[in-house]
Structure 1
């Protein structure tokens, strides 16, 4: 991959010493799917370290294994070799310490927004009182802008509102790692922008380690502290990374008007086009 000398210099200038502990470690990670024509190696010897409280976005071409990596971290997809560690412990299955927001929120349509969030809260906080559980649900629904819609059934909510419930549901579990798999991919551009702002606002308060898979270069820059670029499959791995040093809390207008914004955008597009 070729890069402009100016951006290489800027990347070097932006090296930041981060003394936070690692929250998520992917070590020598390999994923293989058997096919009639032989094994298909999706990920090969992948290495990734993510700091506590860091927001990471992962980009790459379709089929490079981004979502496969995310589902492996979630414990929903078996690891062929290597290991994934969260807070120093190897994961073996899905758990509430890793909450996932998928492209489709998959709410139970006959339940209200509040009841959909309550399902997970009951599992994660079994010893809390009923009032405490309801307070947790209402707090996060309010934070995503659904303070007046607690009792609306999922079928009465727009697609954007349903995804707000999905975001509230994930944060309400108080996970160590928040996993986001193209969460705004099915939304129109206006709703997408609104929900990016909602996500960023709640994340800013919670400071949960977040990993987001996205095809949207602008989204990856706006949200992330660091953009991870994956090589095309098969045998995909981390090809490059780019630190996004914009100050937080971030305001969309300020990010878009930053003099280096289009340098970073160009760098990512250059990677994807090679």
Structure 2
């Protein structure tokens, strides 16, 4: 099999969850405008999991924070289900590299913060049940009442994953969520994430520096050119069936072809 790479497929509007059109990001500097992103176009289908890789400084996190509504758009537009975004909103959940929990609050209270906002008319029991369900899904059923400050970094990130899924977003944004974890915890949390994702099928966009993580998790790997004026350089469809096991992926004939393709792109 030849490794297939497609720069940008055109999808039917009804299939598209997230649409980035002619996206541009400029930071003014004393020496003139610094253009981080330019003419960036990307469509992400409903229920699709994509990962974004590229060299440090290519604007991956800038792009993700623009999708999240945390960073102003200098040009172009971003829409979710055809509606242009205007700042942050519950239709987009974010999992950061550092979980950003309220350290004095329990795991349950941290997840409840978002659930209360998104389900204001739910009964107290309904909201508690949602929190418990997702905390159990990430393996924290014994830690509902532990304060965030008492949890390890890996456990805190589990709370972050539970919190993001619990608000039932249309798009899940992940900014290198496992980047600060040791390799064993990282592998465990990749499995936790993909197990919940397989059930919920929320459209997901994840930044990673890890080629193996990208192949294991995604339907497509999006490669960004080096900045400034970064854009989409290449897109690699990953055609392993789901649900996937790590062993089945790494022993598959196509795995090393995919890996070679991504590494060669990053080496240019």
TM-score by length of 1: 0.94
Q: Show the 5 A alignment for 1:250-261.
A: 250-261=244-255
Q: Deviations 1:57-94 (Å, cap 9, x if unpaired)?
A: 00000000000000000000000110000011000110
Match of 1:78 among 72, 75, 85: 72
User: Distance between the aligned counterparts of 1:17 and 1:44, measured in 2?
Assistant: 19
Alignment of 1:40 with 2:34, yes or no, is yes
Map of 2:4 onto structure 1: 11
1:236 pairs with one of 230, 235, 238: 230
Cα deviation for residue 248 of structure 1 reads 0.4
SS at match of 1:222: helix
Question: Partner of 2:4: helix, strand, or coil?
Answer: helix
Work out the CA distance in 2 between the residues paired with 1:144 and 1:212.
18
After the TM superposition, list the runs of 4 or more consecutive aligned residues in structure 1 that deviate by more than 6 angstroms.
16-20
Query: Does structure 1 retain, via aligned residues, the 8 Å contact 2:54–2:266?
Result: yes
Change (3 A) 1:65 1:39: same
Where does the alignment leave 5 or more consecutive residues of structure 1 unmatched? Answer: 1-5
Distance of 2:193 and 2:32 partners within structure 1: 41
Match of 2:216 in 1: 222
Length, aligned pairs only = 266
**1:73-132 per-position Cα deviation (integer Å, ceiling 9, x unaligned):** 000000011000001100011001000000000111111000000000000000000000
Q: Report whether the alignment pairs 1:118 with 2:112.
A: yes
Q: Distance in 2 between matches of 1:47 and 1:153?
A: 42
* Structure 1 match to 2:264: 270
Alpha-carbon separation, structure 2, partners of 1:134 and 1:35: 48
Kindly state the Cα deviation for residue 216 of structure 1 after the two structures are TM-superposed: 0.5
Match of 2:240 in 1: 246
How far did residue 11 of structure 1 move?
1.5
Deviations for 1:172-212, whole angstroms, at most 9, x for unmatched residues?
00000000000000000000000000000000000000000
Cα displacement (A) at 1:256: 0.5
Question: Which residue of the partner structure matches residue 160 of structure 2?
Answer: 166
Q: Equivalent residue for 1:140? A: 134
Query: C-alpha distance in 1, partners of 2:62/2:82?
Result: 22
1:95 equivalent in alignment to 2:76: no
Q: CA deviation at 1:12?
A: 7.3
Match status 1:63 vs 2:57: yes
Distance 1:177 1:239, change over 3 A: same
Match for residue 192 of structure 1 among 186, 197, 210: 186
Q: In structure 2, do the counterparts of structure 1 residues 26 and 17 end up closer, same or farther at CA, with 3 Å as the change threshold?
A: closer
